[in-house]
A and B are shown apart, each in its own frame.
Chain A
Amino acid sequence: GAGVSQSPRYKVAKRGQDVALRCDPISGHVSLFWYQQALGQGPEFLTYFQNEAQLDKSGLPSDRFFAERPEGSVSTLKIQRTQQEDSAVYLCASSTGHGNPEAFFGQGTRLTVV
């Protein structure tokens, strides 16, 4: 596609519910990143994929957070047993990889846990 696409744009979840956030990167982009942006803060790194391999998950805040990219294209970020502190905007970004650090961001998914 023309840009990085994320769905849904908004998600309201009851505390304890599981959620799944989807990211469609730019076609052909090797690298895919997830960031979490709390209200009034800058984005913070969660995890990184190169093709289907998850090479870095050091930013995932707990084992309730899980990300996958099984075919090296679309990625899903899953949060189990959501808690109020999970409320944030989740941003996906992709880049061509191959040493090119320029990343293109989607519009994000705003998750509100009530």
Chain B
Amino acid sequence: AQSVTQPDIHITVSEGASLELRCNYSYGATPYLFWYVQSPGQGLQLLLKYFSGDTLVQGIKGFEAEFKRSQSSFNLRKPSVHWSDAAEYFCAVGAWRQGAQKLVFGQGTRLTINP
């Protein structure tokens, strides 16, 4: 069965510091991978996605992620965080079922930014 693990429940970084959020997945075939961000009381906004091709993908708001098949990982990075990046971040894998891709999410990582 497909699964996603985000090992860090809560991360605190200082504004301007670099960020890496970890994501490991379990999937039997080439995965479709996603990172979403959720601000309090809001829905999920897609940051970036990996379907195929270049394993380093660029997203919105200065985020990037690297797909590493050998490590079953899809870690999210940002070189310099801003206070507005404080939010909950979810990694997800797309699992094909009945002709559609349902998303299997990790538990999320809550990011706090220190001024």
The dominant DSSP class at the B interface is strand
Shortest beta-carbon distance, A25 to chain B, in Å?
13
Q: Does B107 contact A (CB under 8 A)?
A: yes
| CB within 8 Å for A44 and B44 given contacts A55-B99, A56-B97, A97-B100 | no
Contact B98 A48 (CB under 8 A): yes
Tell whether, in the assembled complex, residue A101 and residue B105 are in contact, meaning their CB atoms are under 8 Å apart. no
* Pick from A43, A44, A48, A102: contact of B46, CB under 8 Å: A102
Instruction: Please tell me the size bucket of the interface on B.
Output: 20 to 34
Contact A107 B43 (CB under 8 A): yes
Query: A12 within 8 Å of B by Cβ?
Result: no
How distant is A90 from chain B, measured CB to nearest CB, in Å? 11
Known: A101-B32, A101-B94, A102-B49. A43 touches B44 (CB 8 A): yes
The distance from the CB of A105 to the nearest CB of chain B, in whole angstroms, is: 4
Main secondary structure of the interface of A (DSSP, over half): strand
Identify which of B94, B97, B102, B108 contacts A42 (C-beta below 8 A).
B108
A51 → chain B closest CB, angstroms: 11
Contacts of B49 in A (CB 8 A): 101-102
In the bound complex, do residue A43 and residue B102 qualify as a contact, i.e. CB atoms below 8 Å apart? no
Most buried by B among A45, A91, A101: A101
Q: Which of B36, B45, B92, B100 has the most CB of A within 10 A?
A: B100
Minimum-distance CB pairs A-B, first 10: A42-B105, A101-B101, A105-B44, A105-B43, A107-B43, A55-B98, A101-B94, A56-B98, A45-B102, A101-B32
**Using a CB–CB distance below 8 Å, which chain A residues touch chain B?**
4, 6, 31, 33, 35, 40-45, 48, 50, 55-56, 58-59, 91, 93, 95, 97, 101-108, 110
Q: 6 new A-B pairs (CB below 8 Å) besides A41-B108, A48-B97, A104-B46?
A: A48-B100, A50-B99, A93-B44, A95-B100, A102-B49, A110-B41
